[in-house]
Amino acid sequence: MIDIKLIRENPELVRENIKKKFQDKKLPLVDEAIRLDQENRQAINEANELRASRNALSKKIGMLMGQAKRDPEKAQEAEAVKAQVKAQADRLAELENQEETLKARLREVMLQIPQIIDPSVPIGPDDSCNVEVERFGEPLVPDFEIPYHTDIMESFGGIDLDGARRVAGNGFYYLMGDIARLHEAVLAYARDFMIDKGFTYVIPPFMIHGNVVEGVMSFPEMDAMMYKIEGEDLYLIGTSEHSMIGRYIDQIIPESSMPHLLTSYSPCFRKEKGAHGLEERGVYRIHQFEKQEMIVVCRPEESMDWYEKLWRNSVELFRSLDIPVRQLECCSGDLADLKVKSCDIEAWSPRQKKYFEVCSCSNLGDAQARRLHIRIKDAQGKIYLAHTLNNTCVAPPRMLIAFLENNLQADGSVKIPEALRPYMGGRDHLEKTRKL
């Protein structure tokens, strides 16, 4: 959510930003926000004038009533002033109701106006215009066939999709044996990787209140992702970022403690609406998965530096597991409304002979902080909004697809990179238990 002052002072900048995001249908919201803001400020000013007048008139009534014992005409004058006070009280109540209505509608409009994107963001209507920035590691295609990822998992007796469908329906899975252990090993390795980077490990609540949901994401994201608990003001989180940022709601943080570097583990629950293609079968796009996340709350002048550090952390982690990756800069039309700048880290799929998304790094500027009132207080007592950032560290099972494909050997075994061996009981490879 942007600052209403920006709309007052530079509405053309806001309109131009909406156009850059190819959301022209939102252009009328700028004029509506200006109108609502003017009407609300007028109502507030009139109400304040009435309160001041009422206080003065109340004192006058007291004085007149005191004089009425000596002068009967003063009593009549006091009654006339009382009627005036009553009329003002009625008008004040009307204005207060008007203020509440205008304030609520203005917030509703402001929540729909996208954050101002960084000048460096490439302009384009959708993800087809995202820009490859850099590759890390050589994307190789072996001289043997790479099976579909669920077939690889099944060769280790490591997945049961049919059982999960009977229990919960499509979009769920059982992981078993070495594949389940590999899943947990990757999460444990990612946890320790981030702790070694100076991040504090956190296990957050897996459900959050509706006002936190509104504070951390846009309406389209909420509708497409969140599961609501029936009869409760609670939602299952789609990523731990939601509850991690929500932790700071209505807080004023001492500047001396900045930045806050957090790495959080959680299960994630997503509706994943819409039809998906062949490559999104199996465990690529699912309703439930686990994730290790990176979260930064910092001063505004530090946020772009942390953005760079966060996505480079992902590159370093994936390369330590022998997975080639690339950085893909997200274009304006592919940015969610709260994001200032975002990039994807995509892993190489030797089976598909292309890259696919495994991490998403975002700088949200002060958007979440403004919605949730997350502020910083400096040594002189000045209070200002924080900036928030997040990035996927690892999100298995999707990350397992990249791991298995890139570490699969010709005999069907899977190599365990050295960095992961301590988390796999010292093993340097996995042996298949079934024929591919």
- What is the per-residue pLDDT across 49-88, written as a single tens digit (0 to 9) for each? 887 776 666 665 556 555 554 556 665 565 666 677 777 7
What are the tokens at 96? 């207060």
Decide: helix, strand or coil at residue 343: strand
Phi, psi angle pair for 260, to nearest 5°: -95, 120
| 340-346 LR contacts (CB < 8 Å, sep 24+) | 340/115, 340/116, 340/117, 340/118, 340/121, 340/364, 340/365, 340/367, 341/117, 341/118, 341/120, 341/121, 341/304, 341/307, 343/133, 343/311, 344/130, 345/311, 345/314, 345/315, 345/318, 345/392
By percentage, how much of the chain surpasses pLDDT 90? 79
The answer to whether residues 102 and 324 touch, using CB atoms and an 8 Å cutoff, is no
Q: List all residues 6 or more positions away from 47 whose beta carbon is below 8 Å from its beta carbon.
A: 92, 95, 96, 99
DSSP3 helix / strand / coil % (the chain, rounded to 5): 50, 20, 30
The answer to whether residues 310 and 389 touch, using CB atoms and an 8 Å cutoff, is yes
Question: Whole-number mean pLDDT of the chain?
Answer: 91
∠ CA(151), CA(345), CA(174), 5° rounding?
A: 30
Residue 79 exposed, middle or buried by CB count within 10 Å (0-12, 13-18, 19+): middle
214-230: average pLDDT: 85
In whole angstroms, what separates CA 340 from the centre of its chain? 12
Phi, psi angle pair for 254, to nearest 5°: -60, 135
HEC profile for 245-285?
HHCCCCCEEEHHHCCEEEEEEEEEECCCCCCCCHHHCCCCC
pLDDT, residue 403, reads 97
d(CA 133, CA 125): 18
Q: Which residue has the tokens 């109502």?
A: 43
Which of 238, 375, 240, 357 minimizes the C-alpha distance to 294? 240
d(CA 195, CA 186): 14
Selected residue with higher pLDDT from 51 and 274: 51
What are the tokens at 383? 């209070």
Q: Which pTM does this prediction carry?
A: 0.89
Lowest mean pLDDT among 171-175, 308-312, 377-381: 171-175
422-428: average pLDDT: 97
pLDDT, residue 76, reads 59
pLDDT, residue 146, reads 96
pLDDT, residue 91, reads 82
pLDDT, residue 77, reads 64
d(CA 410, CA 191): 31
d(CA 321, CA 319): 5
pLDDT, residue 58, reads 63
Residue 386 has pLDDT above 90, yes or no: yes
What are the tokens at 366? 């002060």
Decide: helix, strand or coil at residue 238: coil
d(CA 329, CA 340): 12
Cis preceding-peptide flag for 324 (omega within 30 of 0): no
Instruction: Write the DSSP symbol of residue 122.
Output: P
Residue 217 has pLDDT above 80, yes or no: yes
d(CA 273, CA 370): 29
pLDDT, residue 279, reads 47
Kind and range of the H or E element at 181?
Answer: helix 177-196
pLDDT, residue 365, reads 97
Residue 275 has pLDDT above 50, yes or no: no
373-400: average pLDDT: 96
Task: Convert the pLDDT of each residue in 314-347 to its tens digit.
Answer: 999 999 999 999 999 999 999 999 999 999 999 9
What are the tokens at 405? 């494909």
Domains along the sequence of the chain with CATH: 4-110 (1.10.287.40), 127-430 (3.30.930.10)
pLDDT, residue 56, reads 67
pLDDT, residue 225, reads 85
- Which amino acid appears at position 283 of this protein? V
Instruction: Write the DSSP symbol of residue 100.
Output: H
End-to-end CA distance of the chain: 51
d(CA 206, CA 234): 10
Residue 28 has pLDDT above 60, yes or no: yes
